[in-house]
Amino acid sequence: MHRSSSWLPCAAAVSVLLLSFHIVPGAGATPEWLAVAPAHYAGEFQRLADHRMAEGLSAGVVTLESVWSRDLAGGDPPARLRAFLREAQAGGTRYVLLGGDASVVPARGTVDAPNSYPGLSDLYLVCFGAEWDADGDGVYDEVPGPDDVVPAMAIGRAPVCAASQARAFVDKVLAYETSSSEPYRRQVLLAGVVLTPYPWTPGQPVQLDMASWCEDLRTTFEAPPFELGVQRLYQNHAPYAGAELLSPEEWLARLATGDFGLVQVGCRADAGRWEFGYDGQAAEYLTRNDAKETTTAGRGFFMQALAWDGASHGPVEGMMTTLVRAPAGGCVGAVGFAGAPYVASSYAVMANFWGAALGDFPRAGDAWAAAIDAIRHNYPGRKAAIIYTCLGDPALRVQPTLPNRARVMALALQVAPNPFNPATNLVFELDRTTRVRLDMFDLLGHRVASLIDEERTAGRHEVSWQGRDDTGDAVAAGVYLARLNTPLGTATRRLILVK
């Protein structure tokens, strides 16, 4: 039965599925957190609304059909959705989760950045200062002033189009938020390629290198109070001590360990693929098929990427959209560009996002808005802001829980011999007594063998792996990953078994 009601938050309230409701501007009539999704799977977001309610936010879910049934100003679907969100913001809503990709929940098509490259904008839906179409030609590319890209609330998008995808998305968000104190959440993976010259091969002079930008971000991650652990994969890795060579296989192998709560990527993009290197004859691509098969040992990660169309969710499916949809783990949320950004201003956005997320804005949507605010006073920055997109719940807490101790110990795990046959030794040191788990994984993220799962005292420890699984059977030749996990931190090493 069709009904209309006001949403009135109170201390004893529970989150509800709102088929339709009447908004009273300024009267606290709408929940602080609101999901908008089509009726046939809107209920999948109810568990997430319940979670937000439990942490103190008033929360609700509204069907897209009820939005369209309202008498809203504007003509096309993006304009009508924007009018609805303007009313919701006036009623008290602070966070909006759009429960669908652009084929389900509309985004504003716009022209962004150089060469009139088309992109999608969710920022338009929550910026109420200007229409972005001053000349009335239907092309939303006129953003005349810095105040025209100020979001009135934080907006994120679950890039899903089916109930099963929505259910998996909610599962990953809930699992990630309940893991904020786990050691892996304080580990970061950085990846960067040489942008110019192109193609670049080792030995050539470098003009523009994402590795140098990642090194700048590294200082943010390693700074107090979080002092996060950082691993680095770069195409041009030689100048950076401790960095290793980036390749699609290596990046996927690191993700398969489940050791990282935060990921940053800077790379070229081509036809929906990410280019991670050049072997002198051909580019090395990470494809969407690779992303669909990503496994992360059941652990989610939040990421940011500087790559064309990385956050696109229709009609082009960006790589981060694919990672968020990956059923077996992968990306729980992401920020990036749903089009082609200016490189310099895009890097400024990225740096500002991480600074905000590890500072005063622990929720993804708030950090997204703060990053935009920091670059909106220059024209290239405004053009980049138009397509800067948050994929995921804007109320997601990206910031890990601070450790109880002043510093998380950086664990060192050594392996020798490597390559090996038939056995190898793994050595590590502890500066205090603590619980230790040491496991072997294959490149698909499957645990092959558990070597240690007990409390160990401070000092040097050594264990041998005979190349056998937990049943005692010899494993096949190939690449394996040793993961050392303790409350003090994690460490991963790659092993090669030859026969």
Whole-model pTM over 0.85: no
Look at the block and give the residue holding tokens 């490259």.
117
Least confident interval from 221-235, 385-399, 477-491: 477-491
Look at the block and give the residue holding tokens 């401070």.
458
**pLDDT tens-digit map of 326-380:** 887 679 999 988 777 667 777 888 888 998 898 878 899 999 988 887 777 666 6
**CB contact at 8 A, 85 and 108:** no
**pLDDT tens-digit map of 166-178:** 999 999 999 999 8
Least confident interval from 12-16, 97-101, 449-453, 470-474: 12-16
* 24: confidence class by pLDDT, cuts 50, 70, 90: very low
CA–CA distance, 318 with 316 (Å, rounded to integer): 6
| Per-residue confidence (pLDDT) for residue 415, from 0 to 100 | 86
How far from the centroid of its chain's Cα atoms is residue 443's Cα? 22
Closest by CA position to 45, among listed 395, 401, 312, 331 = 395
CA–CA distance, 238 with 131 (Å, rounded to integer): 48
3-state DSSP call for residue 95? strand
| Per-residue confidence (pLDDT) for residue 403, from 0 to 100 | 58
**CB contact at 8 A, 451 and 457:** no
Q: Which domains does the chain have, with CATH numbers?
A: 16-149 (3.40.50), 166-373 (3.40.50.1460), 413-497 (2.60.40.4070)
CA–CA distance, 285 with 283 (Å, rounded to integer): 6
Provide mean pLDDT across the span 198-204: 88
| Per-residue confidence (pLDDT) for residue 338, from 0 to 100 | 78
Least confident interval from 77-81, 245-249, 327-331: 327-331
**pLDDT tens-digit map of 400-454:** 876 543 333 445 678 888 889 999 999 888 877 878 889 898 766 678 999 998 8
* 496: confidence class by pLDDT, cuts 50, 70, 90: confident
Q: Which amino acid is at 347?
A: Y
Higher pLDDT, 343 or 161: 161
Q: How many CB atoms lie within 10 A of CB 32?
A: 19
In the sheet with 283-286, reading across from the earlier edge strand, the strands are 268-270, 273-278, 283-286
| Per-residue confidence (pLDDT) for residue 489, from 0 to 100 | 64
Provide mean pLDDT across the span 120-141: 79
